[in-house]
Structure 1
Amino acid sequence: MVDAAVGVGAGGGGEPESSDSLRTFGAVVQALREHAGLSREEFADLVRFSKHTVASVELGRRMPDPALVERAEGVLGNTGALRRAAGHLARQPGLAAWFRQWARLEAVAITLDTYECRVVPGLLQTEAYARAVSLSVPPVPDEAELNERVAARLARHELLSTRRTPPCAFSFIFEQALLERHTGGEEITRELLDHLLAVIDRHWNVTVQIMPLRQPDHPGLDGPLQLLETPENQWFAYSEGQKNGRLIWDRKEISVLSRRYGKLRTQALTPADSKSLLEQMRGAL
């Protein structure tokens, strides 16, 4: 999941999340600017931010920089309205809007199963790999947005901690082809392989299985899927595609996805063989 966000992979993909408060704030800025008789370009010059940044704020796509808020106050009458409104802005930076509900469930899950066929799962990505993924998928983000996405993805790595009470049991299955692709180049792939091996060695609550390149009977052909169990033993599922994601709570759908994941587990390499494959791939680089 572009987790989410986070690029592609759980959490990782697409536009960072907007919100009603961001859109409302942007509409207020635009209304005050127009009331002052300023074009967007004139206003951008006065607050010393780019026209593109001002447009993103007015459309509710970007969290306004505190400096922009302060300068806008001076330009638009110094009423204090924008300062007060900025205090009520809410967003989960770096996460795609459709990933938000799933991210909240992840934070309390006691079981999390993930199958990926697009990118290495977000919870297992390195910073360099996350950047390479985000820069591979158009439209290419600007530096601020890229940093926001990567920071959000790396922050989610805390979910792997065994200090959580109760700790979460993680199962990851992903395609060997994702590593053979060498996203970002050999150096980034080398670092990613080292990281995956370190996660396996350090986290007793994490199981990693690799789906080999040749698997004629493959239950994951419909795409990536995730399943999780809450502390109340309720199960949810999540499915993600191009510019969208879907939280699933229907028991029949979850049953189908659970059977598919169970079959994926039997057809992927065992955890021990998966680790050996990762070591072989690392040695070959």
Structure 2
Amino acid sequence: MADGTGATGALTGGGEPEASDSLRTFGEVVKGFRKRAGLTQEEFAPRVRYSLPTVASIEQGRRFPPADFVERAEEVLDAFGILRAAARRLSRQPGLASWFRQWARLESEAVSLQTYECRLIPGLLQTEAYARKLFVDQLPPLDDDQIEAQWMARAERQRLLRERPNTAFSFILEEQLFLRRTGGTEVTRELIEHVLELAELRNVEIQVMPMVRESHAGLHGPMRLLETPDNRWFGYCEGQESGQFMSNPKVVSTLQMRYARMRSQALSLDDSLGLLQRMRGAA
């Protein structure tokens, strides 16, 4: 599954504890401070503005705690900064495959991020309905907890688009990704609406590569590029059950040349939005 999700996404390598171990520990800490404050889960949930099932899942170590949950819980429970410190140690996120975590960490700090995709809509642009359809169709099948963990990890990553307004995001998407109608007509229409909405952000550029293109620099497959705050560039390509992180300057330079060529081969920003608007009406 693209974007670093998959059946192995909740596991760590190198003999380290499974991700759920650290999550369970965090959940127990939250529960301890909640009980110290004399609050039941039913009383605590509305104070942190999360549903009771979500609070229960976090305390059970089944969900990765969103950043705003941590902040609200810290204030509501007067936890002396302990919850913030504990959350920073949750480096093993369920829903993110081990091979993707290094890229996800750099992605969260990047000043520029470029993505070309020909298989499916990139995770940063997906709607919940579209993403869940991908998770449900995954083989071998995932259970409900795995699907929930994958969606939570993806939703956390999507916050980058709005929370990092100084990061430049560029996406080149094949037209066929929308024509496939993954999940059906309504899911596709919602997806196109969502992509058009994100394209209105000043830091997000979306281009569509048309179905008919005699010359195409992206025939080697999907790719991602990012620039770090110290202006270093890295690349990433993902296969069926693995991902390749690239730091060799010559390799990264090759990917940059291909991406630059694709930007000139894809439809312009205005033409891409016009095509998506027409596809939305036809969906």
Could you give the per-residue CA deviations for residues 222-252 of structure 1, whole angstroms, max 9, x where no partner exists?
1100000001000000010010001100000
Q: Which runs of 5+ in 2 are unaligned?
A: 22-57, 63-86
Residue 221 of structure 2 corresponds to 223
Q: How many residues were matched structurally?
A: 220
Alpha-carbon distance between aligned partners in 1 of 2:202 and 2:189, rounded to the nearest angstrom: 23
Which residue identity lines up with residue 125 of structure 1 in the other structure? Q
TM score, norm. by length of structure 2: 0.73
Question: Deviation at 1:209?
Answer: 0.3
Indicate yes or no: 2:147 matched with 1:146: yes
What letter corresponds to residue 229 of structure 1 in structure 2? Answer: E
Give 1:81's aligned residue: none
SS of the residue corresponding to residue 159 of structure 2 reads helix
Q: Match for 2:246 among 242, 248, 252?
A: 248
1:180 aligned partner: 179
Alignment partner for residue 22 of structure 1, among 2, 17, 24? 17
SS at match of 1:137: coil
2:11·2:19 contact (CA, 8 Å) conserved in 1?
Answer: no
Tell me if the contact between 1:22 and 1:90 (Cα under 8 Å) persists in the aligned partners.
Answer: no
Quick one: which amino acid aligns to residue 16 of structure 2? S
One of 3, 9, 23 as aligned partner of 1:10: 3
Instruction: Determine if contact 1:21/1:89 at 8 Å carries over to the other structure.
Output: no
2:169 & 2:280 partners in 1: Cα distance? 23
Quote the residue 2:135 is aligned against: 134
User: Any conservation in 2 of the 1:174–1:209 contact (CA below 8 Å)?
Assistant: yes
| Residues 132-178 of structure 1, C-alpha deviations (whole Å, 9 max, x = no match) | 112223112111100110111111111112x53x7110000011101
- 1:193 maps onto 2:188 in alignment: no
Cα distance in structure 1, aligned partners of 2:208 and 2:145: 34
Per the alignment, residue 269 of structure 2 pairs with: 271
Q: Which has the larger radius of gyration?
A: 1
TM-score, normalised by the number of residues in structure 1: 0.72
Q: 1:79 maps to what in 2? A: none
Structure 2 CA distance for aligned equivalents of residues 92 and 133 of structure 1:
19
Q: Residues of 1 paired with 2:228 and 2:116: CA distance?
A: 19
Query: Shift of residue 15 of structure 1?
Result: 2.1
Secondary structure of 1:173's match?
Answer: strand
Residues 11-56 of structure 1: CA distance to partner in whole angstroms, max 9, x if unpaired? 3344214123325999xxxxxxxxxxxxxxxxxxxxxxxxxxxxxx
On the 8 A contact 1:111/1:229 being kept in 2, the answer is: yes
**8 Å CA contact retained: 1:110, 1:167:** yes
Percentage of matched positions with identical amino acids: 47
Q: Structure 2 vs 1, CA of residues 17 and 277 (structure 1 numbering), >3 Å: closer, same or farther?
A: same
C-alpha distance in structure 2 between counterparts of 1:259 and 1:15, whole Å: 33
Q: Which amino acid aligns with 1:102?
A: W
Aligned-partner SS, 1:228: strand
How many angstroms apart in 2 are the aligned matches of 1:264 and 1:170?
15
Please give the alpha-carbon distance, in whole angstroms, between the structure 2 residues aligned to 1:169 and 1:210: 17
Q: Give me the whole-angstrom Cα distance separating, in 2, the residues matched to 1:13 and 1:106.
A: 19
RMSD over aligned Cα, in angstroms?
Answer: 2.4
Counterpart Cα distance in 1 of 2:214 and 2:254:
20
Listed one character per residue, the Cα deviations across residues 201-229 of structure 1 (whole Å, up to 9, x for unaligned) are: 2x110000001111121111111000000
Q: Distance in 2 between matches of 1:187 and 1:111?
A: 32
Where do 4+ consecutive residues of structure 1 move more than 3 Å?
23-26, 63-67, 87-90
Tell me if structure 2 keeps the 8 A contact 1:171–1:206. Answer: yes
Q: Cα 1:147–1:248, aligned 2, differ >3 Å: closer, same or farther?
A: same
Matched-pair contact (CA < 8 Å) for 1:13–1:95: yes
Separation in 1, partners of 2:204, 2:5: 20
Asked if the contact 1:21/1:90 (under 8 Å) is kept, the reply is: no
Preserved contact between residue 11 and residue 153 of structure 1 (Cα < 8 Å) = no
Query: Kindly tell me: are residues 233 and 186 of structure 1, through their superposed partners in 2, closer, same or farther at Cα, counting changes over 3 Å?
Result: same
Q: Once the 2 structures are TM-superposed, how far is the Cα of residue 64 of structure 1 from its aligned partner? A: 11
Structure 1 unaligned blocks of 5 or more: 1-7, 27-62, 68-86
